[in-house]
Amino acid sequence: MPRFSADGARVLADLHALRGIGAYKTGVHRPSLSPPHLESIRWLEAQLKANGLTPAIDGIGNVIGTAGRRKALLCGSHLESQNHSGWLDGPLGVVYALEAARVLNPVLKDAGIDVAAWCDEEGHFGPLLGSRSYVGQLSDEEMDAAVERTEGRRLRDALATAGFAGRPRFKAEAGRYIGYLEAHIEQGDLLEHDKLDIGVVTSIVGIWQFKIVVSGVQNHAGTTRMAIRKDAGVAAAQLLVELHRRLPRVAGPRTVWTVGNITLVPGAPSIIPGRAELLFQVRDADPQYVARIEAETRAAIADANRAGPCETAIEVLRTGQPAHMSATVQEAIEAAAAAHGASTVRMPSGAGHDAQFLSFAMPAGMLFVPSIGGISHHWTENTSDADIVRGAHVFVDTCARLLAA
């Protein structure tokens, strides 16, 4: 089949236009539903209109530009950023989708690209709100309760200010799309390290979140003898060391785990902590490894409780939903990469992405371009122009192959 290519200069110009909206150092500060995020949505609306797509925004702030073709491929990513973060995490996938629509929609007769920008992939108000809403995994009650994690704005208030409150939410319709394709920066250093051009995503890890609570006895730090203390802080630290020693024995090759937050209660210099709370997160694309990690963690906690003097409990806050990417999409990405002389590797994604939830509604796939130094979620995040343009060529050609199949 003919090889399709992107207009590299146009892709770079669009990404730089978005970089200028909420600019922060060399990155951006564009939290969900903030004025710069809303400005980026208006920017996208204008681009969609200018290229023959009909944009609409729903009640959670999702933007979808439709071309009205009988056979359609949905493409996209997100426009908001983490706080004071990078310029490519999200916008790369939206601009590639826009470029695919610009290149392919005028030449394909009854097939075409629809472009999506999902709201709040970065979880300012809650994890992947927009894409979860689209696949029917976001309740009105969760929206009622959702509060922005930095400034405490209520999601309902932010949607009202944006003018999106009360609108219906888009819902994935069975059979509407042949699939979903998303491009993203890798956010790791595997591609750069192995000098490869394109990552073909096989699966997206699920994220399991646990809370571990250690109960001791709160008391005076000056008068309580060491021998009779039940210090929850010390017990928490001992448990972490024990988990670090034991978990590698049961982990899979890609399992990762993190204690990202420890709270000591009451957390004062002259008080022995009576309670410690630890947020413990496990990620893997294979739930069997997570089950082994959880079992080993529970065993370590049981051993600690037998030894005393504190009492520890673990609670599951959220179970993960690993997502598997479509084999057809993976093969199309590889064929497009080969046509453009780009090297590929199949790899799982350790980060969550909108494609994860889209995959529950339709065949979905993702391609990664290299991240310089593997840095992301930081304003220094970057990818070379050559890699951005190469990725755009492969993306557009992948879309053409999927629509031709």
Q: How far is the CB of 243 from Zn ion (least distance, A)?
A: 29
Nearer to Zn ion, 231 or 354 (CB): 354
Contacts to Zn ion from residues 94-113, by CB under 5 A: none
Note whether 111 and 71 are within 8 A (CB). Answer: yes
Binding segment for Zn ion (CB under 5 A), chosen from 89-97, 158-166, 306-314, 357-365, is: 89-97
Q: How far is the CB of 227 from Zn ion (least distance, A)?
A: 52
Packed helices 385-404 and 91-104: angle between N→C axes, nearest 10 degrees:
50
Count of beta carbons in the 10 Å neighbourhood of residue 48: 23
Nearer to Zn ion, 275 or 353 (CB): 353
Q: How far is the CB of 35 from Zn ion (least distance, A)?
A: 20
Q: Is residue 80 involved in binding Zn ion (CB under 5 A)?
A: no
Q: How far is the CB of 354 from Zn ion (least distance, A)?
A: 8
Q: How far apart are CA 318 and CA 301, in angstroms?
A: 19
Q: Is residue 381 involved in binding Zn ion (CB under 5 A)?
A: no
Q: Which two tokens stand for residue 253?
A: 């090759």
Chain centroid to Cα 395, Å, comes to 19
CA angle (139 as vertex; 137, 145 as ends), nearest 5: 125
Packed helices 385-404 and 8-19: angle between N→C axes, nearest 10 degrees:
110
Q: How far is the CB of 273 from Zn ion (least distance, A)?
A: 37
Cα dist from 13 to 20, 27, 305, 381, whole Å: 11, 15, 59, 18
Rounded to the nearest 5°, which phi and psi values hold at 173? -100, 135
3-state secondary structure of 40: helix
Q: Is residue 90 involved in binding Zn ion (CB under 5 A)?
A: yes
Nearer to Zn ion, 129 or 304 (CB): 129
Binding segment for Zn ion (CB under 5 A), chosen from 43-51, 56-64, 67-75, 86-94, is: 86-94
Cα dist from 303 to 37, 235, 311, whole Å: 49, 12, 11
How many residues bind Zn ion, per CB under 5 A?
2
Q: How far apart are CA 70 and CA 319, in angstroms?
A: 37
Q: How far is the CB of 184 from Zn ion (least distance, A)?
A: 6
| Residue with smallest beta-carbon separation from Zn ion | 89
Nearer to Zn ion, 65 or 130 (CB): 130
Q: How far is the CB of 87 from Zn ion (least distance, A)?
A: 12
Residue whose C-alpha is closest to residue 85's, from 387, 282, 371: 371
Nearer to Zn ion, 90 or 370 (CB): 90
Binding segment for Zn ion (CB under 5 A), chosen from 68-76, 84-92, 166-174, 256-264, is: 84-92
Nearer to Zn ion, 118 or 289 (CB): 118
Q: How far is the CB of 135 from Zn ion (least distance, A)?
A: 17
Nearer to Zn ion, 90 or 391 (CB): 90
Binding segment for Zn ion (CB under 5 A), chosen from 83-91, 147-155, 239-247, 315-323, is: 83-91
CA terminus-to-terminus distance, the chain:
11
- Identify any residues that bridge with 154 across adjacent strands, giving them in sequence order: 147
Q: How far is the CB of 376 from Zn ion (least distance, A)?
A: 8
* Chosen residue from 14, 58, 89, 120 binding Zn ion by CB under 5 A: 89
DSSP 329-380: HHHHHHHHHHHTT--EEEEEESS--HHHHHTTTS-EEEEEE--GGG--SSTT
Nearer to Zn ion, 61 or 90 (CB): 90
Q: Which residues bind Zn ion (CB under 5 A)?
A: 89-90
